[in-house]
Amino acid sequence: MTKFFDHTKHLSGRVTPTVHSRQDSEASSGGDRHTPALTIALAGNPNSGKSTIFNKLTGAHQHVGNYPGVTVERKDGRCTLGKTTLFVTDLPGTYSLTAYSAEEVVARDILVREQPDVVVNIVDASNLERNLYLTVQLLELGLPLVLVFNMSDTARARGWQFDLDKLSRFFDTDIVEMVGHTGKGLGNLLGAIEATAALGRRRAPLRIAYGAEIEKELDCIADLVRQDQALPKELEARWLAVKLLEDDKDIVDKVSLPKLKAQIDSSAHLIEKQLGESAATAIAAARYGIISGACQEAVRSTIEMRHHSSDRIDAVLTNRILALPIFLALMYLVFQLTFTLGQAPMGWIEAGFGRLGEFVGGLWPEGSDAILKSLLVDGIIGGVGGVLVFLPNILLLFLAIAILEASGYMARVAFIMDRLMRKIGLHGKSFIPLLIGFGCSVPAIMATRTLDNRRDRLTTMLIAPLMSCGARLPIYALIIPAFFPEALQAPMLWSIYMIGIVLAVLLAKLLRSTLFKGKSVPFVMELPPYRLPTLRGVLTQMWQRAWLYLKKAGTTILAISVLLWALTTFPALPESDARRFELQRLAVTSDALPDEARDETLARIHNEETETALRSSFAGRIGQTMEPMLRPMGFDWKIGTALIGAFAAKEVFVAQLGVVYALGEADEESIPLREQLRERYTPLVGFCIMLFCLISAPCMATIAVTRRESGSWRWALLQLGGLTAIAWLLTTLVYQLGTLLGLGGG
């Protein structure tokens, strides 16, 4: 089936490609099969350029979410081909359709259940044989397929030449050469999609001869598959039999017929005994045999293979001695970009919301409902501002990550760190989210999407808050100078960061040996060639991730901000107390005091009134109720009340302490607040405050994002409750042991 692709024609600014093949006459003879809409699925290996082509096809007409029930990113978009709308789904990157991971299950389920009109299989032409393994499996499903040889410029630079006519006949499908990041070949791809869709959905599945030993067992299993009512009937019995022999967990778990289960075990044992290798290995070898034969016939190298530019760069960037220092230097630059350049726009946003609050407050008439005013100004405007103030950091951090990912460097980082991460039961890719956690836990948890295995993803997600984020720094900056001499201040700060790292390592080991017990995913990662990132690609990726933060986490954060406002506002100060403080103010204003003395006295009365109101509020009452639980750690109800406020954001702890101790607004550099703390508590209590804030309940933004990324409140609540319980146990242990050693109590 020879295909010849013509040039693209541009009509009214819309791409209308044409395609010519031997099937054109067949399509036209079948009548007009034009449809107003087509569903397209993009399938391919990670780093094959699939998402780049998706962005080229759909442009701004795309949205990102999660597949129902799993934390696997779903990208959908649309584009126009003549009068036909193409609805495009970018499937998760996968090397295989044998379901060993959530990504593979999701990709296969869409292909089988949603039955797209056309499946576009994007392969990296410079690594053809490995990429074609997925192609063969797609053909085994009998899917309407278009093959895209992406990165054809890289393949030519490496000296590869393809006989596309031979390959097209061999795989019985259209083949399009493309350079995804430039859009070259996009028109031909649209033409191939149109031609393939015109032929209809059905095609004969590719039937691979797996050898006499395997074929005999496949026949036995297939007969029993037809009798098992629990197995999906839309799939061919032979295909299901192959998957069962491959020990595809998703299919194996659906088997209900005991006789079939026994046959699978018997067949797998017999094949291994006869061939000296597992059935899955033998089946994979047969597929690669098909691929190898096709490539021997239709692929040749025009030059002697030699080191290309990526190899030369890797000689430096993955060097055993230089790799880690280079990486740390790059990460330092990323954090500088994120937190230095983000400082100014964060200030603008914060000031803007401050002015908005003042403006709205100024519109309120005197004597009108102060509660509604407080809700709008402190609850809603303050809550939204608390979310949006972090947007510059989120945007800059995701921009930097997108550039490093698109360039191919992030894959090298995982490779460099894998040996260390494997010792704690994690994948090399887990290092990046944990590193990001030192800036902010929210993007760190969102960055776990780069992990292929759900166990690794959940483990990394749950331990990420133990990395001391930037929001905890104001707490350390308040406590350390308040309790420790200058000579000990740097060691104390270093120790608190190290405690978080050590706890994360221990907790990861514990989780991987209990809740997430299972074999570690082998470190098999394609190191893609280095590429120059495209502006559109990195900006699109940056905005998609930032928009998820705003849309999902933002709504939850706003709701909890309003809840915390209500807890600190209600019930109102008792009327008797309000009258008492009003009489005190009248007495001060009627006395002939100097202006300075009068202002100081009025400020003191105001602060005492604020503390009394807080004590009588729900938050204050909760703090007092919590006091018996806090005492073993050396804390009182005032610290407990501040900890409630810190759930909104860790840095709020400092401001809450200022309110509790009747100092009005306070920050980490507040000398009076440090003096108040020093008078009431010992250095042991100060250290325990830092320890508890390090480990305990992450901020509500982190909980919200964990819930979204994990797909379940179960894991978010486990993170919230588990870390808080660990914090209480360790802090109590430290305080009680310190007291026994004579370091003092609260």
pLDDT for 637-649, tens place per residue?
A: 889 888 887 877 7
CATH number of 212-301: 1.10.287.1770
Per residue in 82-130, pLDDT tens?
A: 888 999 999 988 888 886 667 777 888 888 888 899 999 999 998 888 8
Angle at which helix 486-513 crosses helix 473-483, to 10 degrees, equals 130
Which pLDDT score is estimated for 659?
Answer: 62
How large is the C-alpha radius of gyration of the chain?
A: 31
Q: In whole angstroms, give the CA distance from residue 417 to residue 320.
A: 11
Nearest to 660 by CA among 619, 628, 706, 713: 619
Which residues are within 8 A (CB) of 316 and not within 5 positions of it... i.e. 6 or more apart? Answer: 322, 326
Which pLDDT score is estimated for 556?
Answer: 58
Is the whole-model pTM more than 0.85? no
Q: In whole angstroms, give the CA distance from residue 644 to residue 647.
A: 6
Which pLDDT score is estimated for 528?
Answer: 64
At 306, the pLDDT band (50, 70, 90 cuts) reads very low
User: pLDDT averaged over the chain?
Assistant: 80
At 34, the pLDDT band (50, 70, 90 cuts) reads very low
| pLDDT value at 26 more than 50 | no
Q: Which of 382-391, 450-459, 598-607 bottoms out in mean pLDDT, i.e. has the lowest?
A: 382-391
| pLDDT value at 66 more than 70 | no
At 10, the pLDDT band (50, 70, 90 cuts) reads very low
**Which whole-number Å values give the CA distances from 519 to 46, 70, 341, 427, 611, in the listed order?**
22, 20, 42, 11, 54
Q: Which of 58-67, 290-299, 338-347, 633-642 bottoms out in mean pLDDT, i.e. has the lowest?
A: 58-67
**Which whole-number Å values give the CA distances from 203 to 143, 251, 656, 682, in the listed order?**
7, 23, 67, 77
Contact 476, 457 (CB under 8 A): no
Q: In whole angstroms, give the CA distance from residue 351 to residue 372.
A: 22
CATH number of 3-198: 3.40.50.300
Per residue in 220-266, pLDDT tens?
A: 999 999 999 888 887 889 999 999 999 888 889 899 999 999 999 99
The DSSP element (H or E) to which 460 belongs, if any, is helix 454-463
DSSP three-state, residue 457: helix
| pLDDT value at 183 more than 80 | yes
The residue-averaged pLDDT of 196-219 equals: 84
| pLDDT value at 25 more than 50 | no
Q: In whole angstroms, give the CA distance from residue 227 to residue 203.
A: 25
Q: In whole angstroms, give the CA distance from residue 690 to residue 465.
A: 14
The residue-averaged pLDDT of 593-621 equals: 82
Strands 37-44 and 84-90: parallel
The token duo for 144 is 């309407």
Nearest to 540 by CA among 205, 79, 153, 77: 77
**308 DSSP β-pair partners:** none
Place of tokens 């806090």: 630
DSSP three-state, residue 736: helix
Q: In whole angstroms, give the CA distance from residue 154 to residue 184.
A: 13
Higher per-residue confidence, 134 vs 474: 134
At CA 543, angle to CA 539 and CA 544, rounded to 5?
A: 115
Q: Is 233 exposed, middle or buried (0-12, 13-18, 19+ CB in 10 A)?
A: exposed
Place of tokens 């389920």: 109
Which pLDDT score is estimated for 23?
Answer: 37
Contact 398, 342 (CB under 8 A): no
| pLDDT value at 24 more than 70 | no
Nearest to 203 by CA among 148, 122, 141: 141
The residue-averaged pLDDT of 622-633 equals: 92
At 560, the pLDDT band (50, 70, 90 cuts) reads low
Per residue in 436-486, pLDDT tens?
A: 787 788 888 887 876 767 888 899 999 999 998 877 877 888 888 889 988
Higher per-residue confidence, 6 vs 421: 421
**Which whole-number Å values give the CA distances from 425 to 103, 417, 430, 441, 525, in the listed order?**
20, 13, 10, 21, 17
The DSSP element (H or E) to which 106 belongs, if any, is helix 102-109
The token duo for 378 is 């402190």
